[in-house]
Amino acid sequence: MRGSVVGQLIWKDWQLGRMSILITIVWGAAALAIVPWGGQNNRVVGGVLFFIPLILIAHMLPLMGIGSERKKQNLAFLMSLPVSFIQYTTSKLISSLVIFLIPWVTMVSAAVLLVEVRGVVPRGSIPVLLILALMPFLGFCLITGAALVGETEGWGIAANVFCSSTYGLAWFFMTQVPSLMVPAQGRVPVWNSTELSILAGEIAVGVLLLGLTYFLQSRKRDFV
């Protein structure tokens, strides 16, 4: 694939983004290492530190990898090459998604394994952990779409601010739902209809946002 235009663009983004993957995974590993030691305070601190790099890479990746290209006039240079806007959009969606998903899958898998093997928190909390972990994914999809479709850097920044301000609210509303919080204290995951509906809804919304981004890009006539 690297021989194609799309492959070359993806490879360029990979070269620039691979350090972000390493930093995110190392940060996540350090946060998870805190969780098994000590009491409740360590679990809270480790949990908060675990989600910080996920949120950072979800927000900064599209802003730095997409928004900065327009700001630095790199996009105008790229579009002067034999590259169509569909090829550019495809490369950006694929490269951004891969760079985000590698640390996301690694960290979430490690967190689930830690809960399952070490039992540092009740195993019934695994569905809630996955629901929370998908929130940065939704933020990534929204900010990526805003950065690609928006004609100015402000759209990506606005999406960033919106997502940053909703994580706390989402957690608050989750704590008010007994069908989420009560099973989370159990010794085994329950996977009730509420949990499965939320998980399916998050994935569907993320896919819809990425698909809508691609559709809106395909309708553009003035790309630069």
156 and 63 Cβ atoms separated by less than 8 Å: yes
pLDDT at 206: 96
User: Which residues, in sequence order, are CB contacts of 181 under 8 Å at separation 6+?
Assistant: 128, 174, 175
Query: Considering only CA atoms, which of 67, 96, 72 is closest in space to residue 9?
Result: 96
In this prediction, residue 147 carries a pLDDT of: 87
Global pTM value: 0.88
For residue range 14-27, list pLDDT tens digits in order.
888 889 999 999 99
Separation between Cα atoms, residue 80 and residue 65, nearest integer Å = 19
Those residues of the chain that have pLDDT short of 70 are: 1-3, 38, 67-83, 151, 221-224
pLDDT at 130: 96
Structure token pair of residue 66: 């997409």
d(CA 137, CA 203): 9
- How high is the pLDDT of residue 74? 57
| The predicted structure's pLDDT at residue 178 | 93
Alpha carbon of residue 55 to chain centroid:
7
CA distance 155 to 148: 9
pLDDT at 24: 94
